[in-house]
Amino acid sequence: MAEDASTTALTLKDIAREAGVSLATVDRVLHNRPGVRPDTVRRVKEAIARNAFQPHVAAAELARGRARRFAFVMPSGPNPFMQQIEAYLGEMSGWLSARRLSVEIVATDVFDPSVLAASLESLSGDYDGVAVVALDHPSVRAAINDLVEAGTKVVTLVSDVPSSRRHHYVGIDNIAAGRTAGALVGRLIGQRSGKVAIVAGSQALRDHAERIFGFNQVMASEFPDLGVLPVLEGRDEDNRSEQLLARLFGRHADIVGLYNVGAGTQGVGKALTDKALTDKALTDKVSSDAGREKRVVFVGHDVTALTRRLLLQGVMDAAISQNPGHEARAAVRVLLALARGEPILREQEKIRIDIVMRDNLP
Amino acid sequence: MAEDASTTALTLKDIAREAGVSLATVDRVLHNRPGVRPDTVRRVKEAIARNAFQPHVAAAELARGRARRFAFVMPSGPNPFMQQIEAYLGEMSGWLSARRLSVEIVATDVFDPSVLAASLESLSGDYDGVAVVALDHPSVRAAINDLVEAGTKVVTLVSDVPSSRRHHYVGIDNIAAGRTAGALVGRLIGQRSGKVAIVAGSQALRDHAERIFGFNQVMASEFPDLGVLPVLEGRDEDNRSEQLLARLFGRHADIVGLYNVGAGTQGVGKALTDKALTDKALTDKVSSDAGREKRVVFVGHDVTALTRRLLLQGVMDAAISQNPGHEARAAVRVLLALARGEPILREQEKIRIDIVMRDNLP
DNA sequence: CTGTTAGCGCTTTCAC
DNA sequence: GTGAAAGCGCTAACAG
């Protein structure tokens, strides 16, 4: 139990002496480099294990000389969530340069498989690691596999390609996120009855499809009395989402819940507040609590300036969120650990599904 | 814009040459060490600023030689949450030793101010940094200030002493946590009416008192129709909490919500399931949905093996949680950054108030 | 297949 | 006040 804390930690040299070999040989074994007789490998490995030897990362880092370069392949459009990730990468610049790490952002049309694949291919050889917001498509998968083949460390970010050989996925489980949204909508509706609407960008997007799947799962099994209306596809555009919704509200007077799967939140919020005003005007003479009774429970994704405001105003009830700062830092740390051959702290790098309501806004 | 990426990063030597001084002098200026003429200091600082020079942390770490020692002063009792923090510290052992860092856990009766203060005093001089689950008391504050005075870096963990000179607090805003609990209880009760019960360990504990304060704030302003019953003090003990609650349920048939502020969750859960059984027996002949109608909305704190089970069973509706793994790692990283004189990544080290429900269980 | 050796960019004596 | 020089524990190039 009582380790002698005053003893200086072991070094490569100690292991070398103990195994009866030279520094270089231990180094070779440590990094699984070829050119060592199997028997020697065994002896060295034993010495390492016996002493629970941990090489000093700082010394290793210093000795390399060469700085490490990472590329982040991000969507080129003006997506607020992606911009947040880029902003958080920017905030790390001091941290990065003190470690002689460089992170370069490569903007691409990630929605066009061939363009994305070409972008990835063009990175080969120049970077130690690549983080990519990936589209799940065969040619993208192939490009990722090629990078991995060439020795580049690859992590998928926010959107995964599970069938590829990427080393790690930094993002949330979207089915669970959809389930969480469903549980919130159902629970917050409470005893009331009525219908539930869903607005998504497109059901062809893997993450949107997964969220809808999870949402429907929960609605069907736990809130069977709430009828779920067919998914509206707003293409993540504000205007389109607003119009589709307004029309839907016209056709169904009994909508009590709404799940916005992707972006276009501005339009969704607009449609909701318009509806609230109309309802209020209609019922003002009779009852005063149209706000309470007719209020539509609204759950969406991500904490942006807009959703923050909607939450504070009470228009939105909850946002399911994946912390963009955490994703940015986790991607960098994972790439670094992979490049160094260090173990990944799974717990630390796991992205949680955050439920954000008005009182726990970050 | 186009920095020459191939240029090797600057080193101390470059700065020294540019400022017309030696390596040693730049080092002295960099660390605000005495023995440099003011004018020289200025020249060197200018050269550093002009080049946005960042010393290489790995080189600095390697050159120090001496390992850094941190102490974690933790409650000695069998508190599951604290045990989780210790477990996560344990999981970091590889990471720590690869950086020649040592973390020692010092168990103390943190609820006795004089004992805690004495423990802290005894650490002086032996550690580079101390993380402490602090009790807010004058003698504890004094002990913290003494440590800081002696050059030790100090962070408070989970429980803060805001009036002390501690360098950092790693933990949540407990008032906001209480507000979040209140909003959840209120919203999940929905249209039903009735009373809300609160069970706490003790109102003398700062964090419990703050949570109750936040909870009552929200109940009063947003759910004025729900009557909040006087706080039961269960001393975080299962049996006592259960008995107090059972008695309360006997006196009030219309309890629809329950907030458990601290531990003792096992007892609270027991009391709730017993009540559910009784209610069901009473109403089975008349209506079948006593489960739905009479169900008490139950919100508590922290994700442990027990609360996880209660959430899955549907006995508990939500747990307000502060991620113990994050707290452990944040405390270490903050102490390390403070010791190295590096900036702290505020965003990264901020502990969020997590809302955990069945579908987003970590 | 294995060993020797020259640094990496700092920190820290010890001299001047 | 300031500078010169000896490492810290690795990696990588080169020599056998």
The domains located in chain B, with CATH, are 2-53 (1.10.260.40), 63-170+324-350 (3.40.50.2300), 174-321 (3.40.50.2300)
User: In chain B, which residues have their Cβ closer than 8 Å to the Cβ of A218?
Assistant: 359
What is the per-residue pLDDT across B297-306, written as a single tens digit (0 to 9) for each? Answer: 999 999 999 9
Which nucleotide has the shortest C1'-to-CA distance from A61? D10
Q: Which of A348, A356, A361 to mutate to test the interface with B (most CBs of B within 10 A)?
A: A348
* Smallest Cα distance from A278 to chain B, Å: 22
Report the run of H or E that residue A198 belongs to, with start and end.
strand A195-200
Label each residue of chain B as H, E or C: CCCCCCCCCCCHHHHHHHHCCCHHHHHHHHCCCCCCCHHHHHHHHHHHHHCCCCCCHHHHHHHHCCCEEEEEEEECCCCHHHHHHHHHHHHCHHHHHHCCEEEEEEEECCCCHHHHHHHHHHHCCCCCEEEECCCCCHHHHHHHHHHHHCCCEEEEECCCCCCCCCCEEECCCHHHHHHHHHHHHHHHHCCCCCEEEEEECCCCCHHHHHHHHHHHHHHHHHCCCCEECCCEECCCCHHHHHHHHHHHHHHCCCEEEEEECCCCHHHHHHHHHHHHHHHHHHHCCCCCCHHHHHCCEEEEECCCHHHHHHHHHCCCCEEEECCHHHHHHHHHHHHHHHHHCCCCCHHHHCCCCEEECHHHCC
User: In chain B, which residues have their Cβ closer than 8 Å to the Cβ of A176?
Assistant: 359-360
Pick from B87, B172, B181, B176: which is nearest to B349 by CA?
A: B172
**β pairing state of B354-356 and B255-260:** unpaired
> Which pLDDT band holds residue B283 (cuts at 50, 70, 90)?
low
Q: Does the beta carbon of A217 lie under 8 angstroms from any beta carbon of chain B?
A: no
Long-range contacts, B1-9 (Cβ 8 Å, 24+): B5/A69, B5/A102, B8/A67, B9/A67, B9/A97, B9/A100, B9/B54, B9/B56
> Which pLDDT band holds residue A264 (cuts at 50, 70, 90)?
confident
The chain B residue lying nearest A345, using CA atoms, is B92
Q: Check pLDDT > 60 for residue B241.
A: yes
Asked if the Cβ of residue B339 lies within 7 A of any atom of strand C, the reply is no
Q: Check pLDDT > 70 for residue A288.
A: no
Dist. CA A256–CA A188, nearest whole Å: 10
Q: Does the beta carbon of A46 lie under 8 angstroms from any beta carbon of chain B?
A: no
* Smallest Cα distance from B183 to chain A, Å: 7
Q: Does the beta carbon of A4 lie under 8 angstroms from any beta carbon of chain B?
A: no
Percentage of chain B beyond pLDDT 70 is 94
Q: Check pLDDT > 80 for residue A357.
A: yes
Q: Check pLDDT > 70 for residue A258.
A: yes
Q: What is the mean pLDDT of residues A263-285?
A: 82
Q: Check pLDDT > 60 for residue A253.
A: yes
* Among candidates A59, A214, A358 on the partner chain, residue whose Cβ is nearest the Cβ of B62: A59
* Smallest Cα distance from B59 to chain A, Å: 6
Q: What is the mean pLDDT of residues B206-230?
A: 96
Asked if the Cβ of residue B13 lies within 7 A of any atom of strand C, the reply is yes
The rounded mean pLDDT for chain B is: 91
> Contact A56/B352, CB-based, under 8 Å?
no
The chain B residue lying nearest A342, using CA atoms, is B95
Q: Gap from A37 CA to D14 C1', in Å?
A: 20
Q: Gap from B35 CA to D9 C1', in Å?
A: 30
The chain B residue lying nearest A178, using CA atoms, is B359
> Contact B188/A192, CB-based, under 8 Å?
no
Q: What is the mean pLDDT of residues A86-94?
A: 96
Vertex B178: Cα angle to B173 and B181 (nearest 5) = 125
> Which pLDDT band holds residue B285 (cuts at 50, 70, 90)?
low
Closest residue, CA to C1' of D11 = A63
Contact indicator for A193, A255 with CB cutoff of 8 Å: no
pLDDT at residue B40, rounded to an integer: 93
pLDDT at residue B260, rounded to an integer: 97
In chain A, which among 270-309 make CB contacts under 8 A with chain B? none
Q: Does the beta carbon of B229 lie under 8 angstroms from any beta carbon of chain A?
A: no
The chain B residue lying nearest A97, using CA atoms, is B54
Q: What is the mean pLDDT of residues B111-118?
A: 92
User: In chain A, which residues have their Cβ closer than 8 Å to the Cβ of B56?
Assistant: 62, 98-100
Handedness of CA A99, A105, A111, A117 (dihedral sign): negative
* Smallest Cα distance from B69 to chain A, Å: 10
Q: Does the beta carbon of A182 lie under 8 angstroms from any beta carbon of chain B?
A: yes
> Which pLDDT band holds residue B3 (cuts at 50, 70, 90)?
very low
* Smallest Cα distance from A351 to chain B, Å: 9
How many CA within 13 A on the CB side of residue B239?
Answer: 0
In chain B, which among 184-203 make CB contacts under 8 A with chain A? 184, 187-192
> Which pLDDT band holds residue B65 (cuts at 50, 70, 90)?
confident
Q: What is the mean pLDDT of residues A307-336?
A: 96
User: In chain A, which residues have their Cβ closer than 8 Å to the Cβ of B59?
Assistant: 58, 62
Q: What is the mean pLDDT of residues A184-203?
A: 93
* Among candidates A88, A352, A355 on the partner chain, residue whose Cβ is nearest the Cβ of B357: A355
Q: Does the beta carbon of B224 lie under 8 angstroms from any beta carbon of chain A?
A: no
Dist. CA A318–CA A302, nearest whole Å: 10
Q: Check pLDDT > 70 for residue B150.
A: yes
Q: Does the beta carbon of B62 lie under 8 angstroms from any beta carbon of chain A?
A: yes
Q: Does the beta carbon of A115 lie under 8 angstroms from any beta carbon of chain B?
A: no
- Residues whose CB is below 7 A of strand D: A 8-13, 23-24, 27, 30-31, 55-56, 59-60, 62-66; B 20-25, 28, 35-37, 40, 62-63, 65
Range scoring the smallest mean pLDDT among A85-94, A189-198, A334-343, B281-290: B281-290
Q: What is the mean pLDDT of residues A8-16?
A: 89
pLDDT at residue A237, rounded to an integer: 87
Asked if the Cβ of residue B12 lies within 7 A of any atom of strand C, the reply is yes
pLDDT at residue B7, rounded to an integer: 63
> Contact A188/B183, CB-based, under 8 Å?
no
Q: Gap from B65 CA to D7 C1', in Å?
A: 10
Q: Gap from A8 CA to D12 C1', in Å?
A: 26
Q: Check pLDDT > 50 for residue A290.
A: no
Dist. CA B152–CA B253, nearest whole Å: 55
Dist. CA A291–CA A283, nearest whole Å: 10
pLDDT at residue B284, rounded to an integer: 57
3-state secondary structure (DSSP) of residue A193: coil
Q: Alpha-carbon Rg of chain A, whole angstroms?
A: 26
Q: Check pLDDT > 90 for residue B278.
A: no
The rounded mean pLDDT for chain A is: 91
What is the per-residue pLDDT across A201-239, written as a single tens digit (0 to 9) for each? Answer: 888 888 899 999 999 999 999 999 999 999 999 888 899
Backbone angles phi, psi at B107, to 5 degrees: -90, 135
Handedness of CA B249, B252, B258, B261 (dihedral sign): negative
* Among candidates A54, A61, A357 on the partner chain, residue whose Cβ is nearest the Cβ of B58: A61
> Contact A100/B9, CB-based, under 8 Å?
yes
pLDDT at residue A27, rounded to an integer: 93
> Which pLDDT band holds residue A283 (cuts at 50, 70, 90)?
low
User: In chain A, which residues have their Cβ closer than 8 Å to the Cβ of B226?
Assistant: none
Which alpha helices (DSSP H) does A134-264 contain, by range? 138-149, 174-189, 206-222, 238-251
Q: Check pLDDT > 90 for residue B280.
A: no
